[in-house]
Amino acid sequence: MQLLAPTPLWIALTIGMLTAAGVGMFSEGASRRAFLPGKTSAGHYQIELACGECHTDSFTNSDQIQSACQRCHGGELSEAEDSHPRTKFTDPRNAARVEVLDARYCVTCHVEHKEEQTREMGVTVPEDYCFHCHQDIATERPSHEGMAFDSCDDVGCHNFHDNRALYEDYLIKHLDEPAQLGHQRFGSLSKTETTTLEREAQTAAALSGEEGRAYESSAHGRAGTTCNDCHADAESQAWLAKPNQDSCRECHRREVDGWERGRHGMRVAAGLPPMRVGDGRVELASERAHESLGCNSCHSAHAMDTRNAAAEACQSCHVDDHTKAYADSKHAALWKKELEGVGAPGTGVSCASCHMPRVGSGNDGGVYVQHNQNDNLRPREKMIRGVCSQCHGVEFSLAALSNDDLVKSNFASAPATQHQSMTLVRARPRDEQ
């Protein structure tokens, strides 16, 4: 157990915060914000006013912060087959390494509210920190002789946690694949398991003209979903003028859960009001600044057109270079063909193909849409297994993703060079492969 020394600052803060809570000041974000010691990282600033999500009972207990990190991220790290799990460092054989860098604790590498030392992905250790534990790598692997320690985690080399698309075995298995695999493998979505609700049915007549027709021809209209399925308050059954994600949860639990784990819905998951477009740190359309994020940011209330949601909706809000470049990409041309009915279903590449892919096996629970658009975003190699390798060889995907200019131009051209990892794998003696 690691405890921070109870410095006078801590004592003052703890007393200050308890007093503030006592007099009800805590109900106001602004006063809570005053206790923040510095700017919160890109991953967490949306929920920074929900102090209790990370700082539970006391502000000084590292084990409590650790369990908060575990509660929200433990699942994804174990799914990622974390290469450096805590168990590696509670093993007495690694005690010497832990003395140099205590990798048992997340906060050793991810402290919070310290903008000046925070790099991408909330990492707060210097870039060459792998050195502390792997200084002998050139002896174990002569091919690594002379490589700089700040290059270990370059895109396509290694990650600290998720190496599923980088393991040697994986690369060897996919050596010499062509750039284009010539087939697509996105599965069809499974039917929604509908909860039958015993509520009074209403007709689309109550929705005027075009909106009514859109509803009737939508998946909901066709499936016989009633107005009250969304518009009746769960407790009082009173008419809700503006249904939100709580109305969808009953029938679409997985979509709502995913949405709450990413940057579109994480504030709602922390019990805060939904994210406002104007509060975003990434580049977003200023004319939508006042809007709050919800399911109908992408899905219009009654038409629920998923094709519009997959690219057009995103482009109306996101205005960074990468997003703007999409329209001119070969992927966008393929998506347009699919929309026009010229391309077969699954051959187009929309924003959602990469950022909200269809996941699941079809065996257990079926194929559904990953609504956490941060799930495969960083590190980028996460996109290889679930997305690119549906259509491209792994070598091509790795080379394309490791090129920042190609990401910025939304993959405007083929990558010019091969990735070094492939060169190394190829150079390994046959009997070692």
Residues 266-305 binding ligand HEC (CB under 6 A) are 266, 270, 275, 277, 280-282, 284, 288, 291, 293, 295-299, 301-302, 304
Residue 196 corresponds to which amino acid? T
Q: Which of 43, 95, 91, 36 is nearest to 69 (CA)?
A: 43
**CA 10, CA 20: separation in Å to the nearest integer?**
15
CB of 6 to ligand HEC, least distance (A): 11
Chain CA centroid to CA 256, Å: 14
CB of 10 to ligand HEC, least distance (A): 7
Pair type for strands 358-359 and 368-369? antiparallel
User: How many Cβ atoms from other residues are within 10 Å of residue 171's Cβ?
Assistant: 21
Residues 190-219 binding ligand HEC (CB under 6 A) are 191-192, 194-195, 197, 202, 204, 206-207, 215, 219
Q: Residue 334 to residues 286, 298, 340, 343, 365: CA-CA distances in angstroms? A: 29, 21, 10, 7, 30
Residue placing its CB nearer to ligand HEC in the complex, 13 or 21: 13
Tokens at residue 21, please?
A: 């809570």
3-state secondary structure of 61: strand
181, 388 contact by CB (below 8 A): no
Stretch that binds ligand HEC, among 18-26, 336-344, 367-375, 420-428 (CB under 6 A): 367-375
Residue placing its CB nearer to ligand HEC in the complex, 153 or 395: 153
Residues 140-169 binding ligand HEC (CB under 6 A) are 152-153, 158-163
Of positions 21, 69, 147, 424, contacts ligand HEC by CB under 6 A: 69
Q: Could you say whether residue 338 binds ligand HEC (CB under 6 A)?
A: no
Of positions 261, 381, 419, 421, contacts ligand HEC by CB under 6 A: 261
**CA 69, CA 81: separation in Å to the nearest integer?**
17
| Torsion sign, CA atoms 264, 266, 267, 271 | positive
Residue placing its CB nearer to ligand HEC in the complex, 274 or 426: 274
Q: Could you say whether residue 73 binds ligand HEC (CB under 6 A)?
A: yes
3-state secondary structure of 138: helix
Q: Which contiguous run of DSSP H or E holds residue 22?
A: helix 8-22
Residues 100-139 binding ligand HEC (CB under 6 A) are 101, 103, 106-113, 121-123, 125, 129-130, 132-134
Q: Is 153 left (phi over 0), alpha (psi -120 to 50) or beta?
A: alpha
For the window 172-191, what string marks contact with ligand HEC as x by the rule CB under 6 A? --------x---x----x-x
CB of 426 to ligand HEC, least distance (A): 18
Residue placing its CB nearer to ligand HEC in the complex, 316 or 426: 316
Residue 114 corresponds to which amino acid? K
Which alpha helices (H) appear in 270-381, and where do they start and end?
306-310, 312-315, 321-326, 330-340, 351-355
Residues 222-251 binding ligand HEC (CB under 6 A) are 223, 225, 227, 229-231, 241-243, 245, 247-248, 250-251
For the window 371-410, what string marks contact with ligand HEC as x by the rule CB under 6 A? x-xx--xxxx--x---xx-xxx----x--xx----xx--x
Residue placing its CB nearer to ligand HEC in the complex, 275 or 425: 275
Of positions 51, 272, 339, 359, contacts ligand HEC by CB under 6 A: 51
CB of 207 to ligand HEC, least distance (A): 4
CB of 340 to ligand HEC, least distance (A): 16
3-state secondary structure of 292: strand
